[in-house]
């Protein structure tokens, strides 16, 4: 007979006995109690089953959240480390491997976050995740930009971006993930505590009710005990799973009681602190987690105590070092959060920390490289400009004076060209050491680029600055640079300018110092020149520098144009063709033409002539080519001037050949002009260039012949087609017998050598008749024709 059947049998017997008389009330009461017990038992069992499912859900959801957040954090941190390694690695294959890792970590991060979003989240967790997403969206483009700069070889820009913006933003992402982990821990613990408390109340209630019931209550109690035992077993299993997960994560985790005594620590915490789990139990957290400041080793505040007192999450991440039990140091970042009981009372704290030694070392290395020159170890230009900006502000706020010195080595190019770049680098290192030994501790010394150095002398007037500069000049002068079997004597040109409350901005000061330095070079090099606003030489230099800017702007904005001046043949019987000399002009405001002598001196001084010469060649070839395609013309030749600076350019000949190939014009339509002085100064280069271009059909003219008082013997070494007689002789031949004799002599010798002659500066009818009588082949000047704007549509007009 079953227990239920026995209970029903007893119930029937009692009913029969107590159905009449006083037993009826007891029977009714027993029946009511039995119904109540059955009802309460069923309700209790249902609630216990619901609690079990809820607990399973909480544990499963919590474990999955922890794993996903941990994956996100590891992926984010590894992504930044890959970016750091990409910046530092020099090998392209290793950098490409890091680029692949960089992208894989991004995929892992995104995958983990999408899975995390699919789980049930509290409002606080969702808010933290949204803030993390905002931080991630700000840092990802910067990371990809830094990676792109690195792959493009722009390491300096990548380092600047990485240190200045990527690392701080990435730290914000990691902080949000740490906060999310701590929040999830709190939420899961609170939910577990609530579930366990509810379970305890239900079990107590069931014990009381089953104790008051006979038979059926005992049977229900056995069922309840069995199910309770099963739940306990599951709880222990889930707890073990949580402990294994905690043990395997990379961050150190320590939990304490409300007094700050250690209750547990995971494997990562054991490794980082040097404390074993058994040794650390019950020990005050400050002994196990001993943190000091990185710079002075002073103890840092108790992080766990702060979290317990404030009742909120506390984070520390700047310049903190964890001293291990074995005496080792680890740079760390840490977060402490209070653990609250169901009554919102502090039940302890959880401390999470991780090792950032490698990342902090990389950050410091990048910070150093961002403001120092790699070759010399001096400050770089960027840092020097920042210090100079601060000095300008200090001078204005405190009515003080500093001094800026611009230092340029005089013989660096000779060493570099003679012995190679390795010698040049060594020279710069040795000169840097000399400069370091000559400046004061408070002064700023930087390599600005190439062989140029900057020196900022703080709280220093011009007199003291001149003394320091003179000491440097003498030291460099007395220094001998030895490389292999060669010895070099050096010099420096130094420009000095005062930094006062009246000084302009940093560009004004650099410009003044540069002008003063070049003034020192103009006066013979190895000198010091002090900038004064009323210095006439410096004003002239300032004007030339302004023209340099205008020239560069004109090249960019297309403000240059070509004019053509006729070179007319004087002997029509010999059927000499018309020629035109191409002349460069600059357009100013309102389209007004700027004469060449306004900007060409500055172009020559600052080595801009090769750019202008190439522009003229490219523009002339393009116009001639376009006219050939559209209308044709009968002009015999166009004369294009080449400066002495262009003759020294190694790429001039390949450039001209390439332009001929692009334009497809005939070389016999082009005559290049070089001045007599430029040809003599670059005789070897000039001879090679003339021969190479004449081989393909070009012609050559020797311009301003006679101005350099050269020997006619030079004409034997220069295979030119024309000699342009210098205008200083031509303009007075109608009144000056000596000039007339000189012109006749040049014409006669040139004709004997088979060279045609061109008379420049033919300004009057008398000069025109005189050069015609002498037998000169061509005439050029305002009497013949004024220069006209050269355009494709006007070539036919010119040729007609």
As a whole number of angstroms, the distance between CA 548 and CA 537 comes to 17
**Residue 227 neighbours by CB under 8 Å, 6+ apart:** 45, 48, 49
Element (H, E) at 513: helix 506-522
CA 140, distance to chain mean position in Å, is 16
Least confident of 482-491, 504-513, 533-542, 609-618: 533-542
- Whether 601 and 609 have beta carbons less than 8 Å apart is answered as no
- Whether 188 and 245 have beta carbons less than 8 Å apart is answered as no
Least confident of 7-21, 435-449, 555-569, 664-678: 7-21
Least confident of 34-38, 128-132, 490-494: 34-38
- Please tell me which residue, 707 or 775, carries the higher pLDDT value: 775
- Tell me the pLDDT tens digit for each residue of 756-794: 999 999 999 999 999 999 999 999 999 999 999 887 655
**Residue 272 neighbours by CB under 8 Å, 6+ apart:** 252, 322, 324, 330, 332, 353, 355
Write out the two tokens for 704. Answer: 């301003």
Question: Considering only CA atoms, which of 702, 715, 716, 635 is closest in space to residue 673?
Answer: 702
SS3 353: strand
DSSP for 571-624, written as a single string: -GGGTPPPEEEEEEEEE-GGGPEEPHHHHHHHHHHTT-HHHHHHHHHHHHHHHH
As a whole number of angstroms, the distance between CA 27 and CA 38 comes to 16
pTM, entire model = 0.42
- Please tell me which residue, 651 or 88, carries the higher pLDDT value: 651
Write out the two tokens for 79. Answer: 């992504």
At how many degrees (to 10) do helices 652-663 and 609-630 cross?
Answer: 20
pLDDT-based confidence at 221, cuts 50/70/90? low
- Tell me the pLDDT tens digit for each residue of 729-752: 899 898 989 889 999 999 999 999
The residue count for the chain = 800
Q: Which residue has the tokens 């799973």?
A: 241
Q: What is the pLDDT of residue 12?
A: 38
Write out the two tokens for 140. Answer: 């990802």
């Amino acid at each position: 007979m079953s227990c239920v059947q026995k209970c029903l049998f007893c119930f029937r017997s009692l009913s029969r006995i107590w159905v009449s008389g006083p037993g009826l009330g007891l029977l009714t009461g027993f029946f009511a109690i039995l119904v109540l017990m059955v009802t309460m038992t069923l309700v209790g069992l249902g609630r216990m089953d619901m609690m079990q499912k809820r607990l399973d859900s909480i544990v499963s959801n919590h474990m999955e959240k922890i794993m996903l957040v941990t994956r996100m954090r590891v992926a984010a941190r590894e992504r930044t480390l890959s970016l750091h390694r990409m910046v530092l690695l020099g090998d392209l294959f290793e950098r490409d491997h890091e680029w692949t890792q960089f992208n894989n970590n991004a995929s892992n991060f995104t995958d983990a976050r999408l899975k995390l979003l699919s789980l049930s989240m509290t409002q606080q967790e969702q808010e933290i995740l949204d803030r993390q997403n905002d931080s991630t969206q700000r840092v990802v483009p910067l990371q990809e930009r830094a990676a792109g700069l690195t792959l493009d070889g722009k390491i300096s820009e990548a380092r600047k971006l990485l240190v200045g913006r990527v690392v701080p933003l990435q730290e914000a992402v990691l902080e949000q993930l740490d906060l999310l982990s701590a929040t999830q821990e709190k939420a899961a613990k609170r939910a577990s505590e609530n579930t366990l408390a509810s379970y305890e109340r239900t079990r107590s209630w069931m014990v009381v009710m089953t104790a008051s019931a006979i038979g059926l209550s005992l049977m229900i109690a056995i069922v309840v005990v069995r199910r309770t035992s099963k739940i306990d077993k599951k709880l222990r299993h889930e707890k073990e799973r949580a402990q294994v997960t905690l043990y395997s994560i990379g961050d150190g985790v320590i939990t304490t009681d409300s007094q700050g005594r250690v209750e547990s620590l995971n494997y990562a915490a054991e490794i980082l602190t040097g404390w074993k789990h058994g040794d650390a139990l019950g020990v005050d957290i400050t002994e196990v987690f001993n943190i000091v400041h990185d710079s002075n080793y002073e103890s840092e505040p108790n992080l766990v105590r702060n979290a317990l007192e404030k009742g909120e999450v506390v984070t520390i991440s700047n310049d903190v070092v964890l001293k291990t039990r074995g005496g080792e140091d680890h740079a760390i970042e840490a977060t402490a959060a209070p653990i609250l009981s169901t009554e919102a009372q502090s039940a302890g704290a959880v401390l999470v920390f991780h090792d950032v030694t490698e990342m902090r070392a990389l950050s410091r290395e990048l910070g150093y490289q961002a403001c120092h020159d790699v070759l010399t170890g001096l400050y770089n230009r960027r840092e020097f400009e920042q210090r100079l900006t601060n000095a300008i502000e200090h001078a204005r706020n405190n009515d003080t004076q500093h001094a800026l010195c611009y230092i340029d080595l005089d013989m660096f190019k000779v060493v570099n060209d003679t012995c190679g770049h390795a010698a040049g680098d060594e020279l710069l290192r040795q000169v840097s050491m000399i400069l370091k030994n000559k400046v004061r501790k408070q002064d700023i010394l930087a390599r600005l680029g190439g062989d140029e150095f900057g020196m900022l002398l703080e709280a220093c007037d011009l007199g003291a600055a001149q003394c320091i500069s003179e000491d440097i000049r003498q030291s460099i002068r007395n220094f001998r640079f030895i490389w292999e079997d060669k010895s070099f004597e050096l010099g420096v040109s130094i420009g000095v300018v005062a930094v006062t409350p009246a000084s302009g901005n940093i560009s004004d000061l650099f410009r003044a110092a540069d002008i003063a330095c070049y003034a020192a070079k103009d006066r013979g090099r190895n000198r010091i020149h002090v900038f004064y606003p009323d210095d006439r030489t410096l004003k002239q230099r300032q004007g030339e520098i302004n023209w340099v800017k205008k020239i560069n702007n004109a090249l960019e904005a297309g403000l240059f144009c070509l004019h053509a001046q006729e070179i007319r043949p004087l002997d029509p019987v010999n059927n000499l063709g018309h020629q035109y000399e191409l002349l460069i002009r600059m357009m100013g405001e309102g389209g007004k033409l700027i004469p060449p002598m306004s900007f060409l001196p500055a172009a020559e001084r600052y080595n801009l002539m090769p750019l202008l010469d190439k522009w003229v060649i490219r523009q002339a070839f393009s116009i001639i080519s376009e006219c050939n395609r559209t209308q044709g013309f009968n002009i015999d030749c166009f004369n294009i001037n080449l400066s002495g600076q262009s003759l020294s350019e190694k790429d001039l000949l390949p450039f001209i050949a390439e332009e001929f190939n692009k334009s497809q014009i005939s070389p016999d339509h082009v005559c290049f002009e070089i001045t007599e002085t430029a040809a003599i100064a670059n005789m070897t280069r000039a001879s090679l260039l003339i021969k190479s271009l004449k081989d393909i059909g070009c012609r050559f003219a020797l311009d301003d012949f006679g101005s350099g008082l050269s020997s006619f013997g030079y004409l034997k070494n220069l295979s030119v087609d024309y000699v342009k007689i210098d205008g200083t002789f031509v303009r007075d031949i109608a009144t000056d017998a000596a000039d007339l004799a000189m012109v006749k002599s040049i014409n006669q010798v040139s004709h004997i050598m088979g060279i045609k002659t061109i008379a420049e500066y033919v300004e009057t009818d008398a000069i025109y008749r005189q050069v015609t009588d002498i037998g000169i082949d061509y005439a050029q000047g305002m009497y013949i024709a004024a220069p006209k704007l050269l355009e494709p549509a006007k070539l036919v007009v010119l040729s007609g």
